[in-house]
Structure 1
Amino acid sequence: MSRTVITFGTFDVFHVGHLRMIERAATYGERLVVGVSADELNRRKKDRDPVFSEAERLAIVAALKPVDEVFLEESLELKRDYILKYGADVLVMGDDWAGRFDEFQDVCEVLYLPRTPAISTTALIEKIAQA
């Protein structure tokens, strides 16, 4: 029986931290499904527009070797629906979300993985803006 892993993120200004999270998430199953936050969801979460459009971010993530399927995540409130729709056995998120999705342990395993130290999209955007 193969295991499906699901993870979510904005994946804006794609960097090595994003890549490492996706690669590590893929090790927990045979199929990796990635939800990419819609532009509107990103505005609600982070109060700013993404640098790259949702179509561009979907294309980048879909091109990654470990990724089997991508979809547009329209709402944080629909996480359970996405988990069920894609038949996820494991939900993998960065540890900055630790505890936030424990409610889904009734439908799948929930893992919070450490983020890559000293790199964040926000820090990169701020650094670029100062250049």
Structure 2
Amino acid sequence: MKKYKIGYTTGVYDMFHIGHLNIIIRAKEWCEYLIVGISTDELVKSYKHKTPIIPFEERKAIVEAIKYVDQVVPQTSMDKMEAWKQFHFNAIFHGDDWKGSNMYNDIEKKLNEVGCDMIFLPHTAGTSSTLLTETLHKILTDQEK
């Protein structure tokens, strides 16, 4: 396994769960210094058309408390090249559920041109923030009946 000096990963990290932790742990295994970009509430609203359940500052505090994380930064844009220009990371990490998508193929090509590798890490099956939100909504709806 190649060891990178600076690694970068991003996410919303809403309703923090084991899948989030697994990505962070696996990313840190690949690099000396791990920067985690957390999507701001405004960014999430702009592309997911919904507001995170957990506010940005609380999601940031949760991720900052994880021993594998060296730095937490707000992600205000989906443009990974913009992030690279700011942080000059050597590798970017994403869940392999995005591998082969047109969006990430394009991002990977642009980052490779500046010497940055894209590493896809195994997605944790069986849990997601969306699933947790749907389950919580169902429980609350059932209680109202």
TM norm structure 1: 0.93
Q: How does 1:92-111 map to 2 (within 5 A)?
A: 92-99=93-100, 100=104, 101-102=107-108, 103-107=110-114, 108-111=116-119
Shift in Å, 1:96? 2.5
Q: How far apart, CA to CA, are the structure 1 residues paired with 2:4 and 2:35?
A: 13
Q: RMSD over aligned Cα, in angstroms?
A: 1.4
Q: How far apart, CA to CA, are the structure 2 residues paired with 1:43 and 1:84?
A: 24
Decide whether aligned partners of structure 1 residues 130 and 2 sit closer, same or farther in structure 2, where only a CA change above 3 A counts: closer
Q: How far apart, CA to CA, are the structure 1 residues paired with 2:47 and 2:98?
A: 13
Gaps of 5+ in 1: none
Residue identity (%): 36
The answer for the alignment partner of 2:31 in structure 1 is 29
The answer for the alignment partner of 1:126 in structure 2 is 134
Q: Say which is worse superposed, 114-123 or 82-91, in terms of deviation.
A: 82-91
DSSP-derived class of the 1:27 partner: helix
Query: After TM superposition, where is structure 1 displaced by more than 3 Å over at least 4 residues in a row?
Result: none
Q: How far apart, CA to CA, are the structure 1 residues paired with 2:137 and 2:47?
A: 21
Q: Deviations over 1:107-127 (max 9, x none)?
A: 201111121011111011000
- Which of 39, 52, 55 is 2:54 aligned to? 52
Structure with the largest fraction of helix: 2
Q: How far apart, CA to CA, are the structure 2 residues paired with 1:88 and 1:122?
A: 29
Shift in Å, 1:47? 1.4
Shift in Å, 1:28? 0.7
Q: How far apart, CA to CA, are the structure 1 residues paired with 2:96 and 2:42?
A: 23
Q: How far apart, CA to CA, are the structure 2 residues paired with 1:109 and 1:22?
A: 17
Q: Deviations over 1:38-94 (max 9, x none)?
A: 1011112211100011111111111100000011000112x2121232220110011
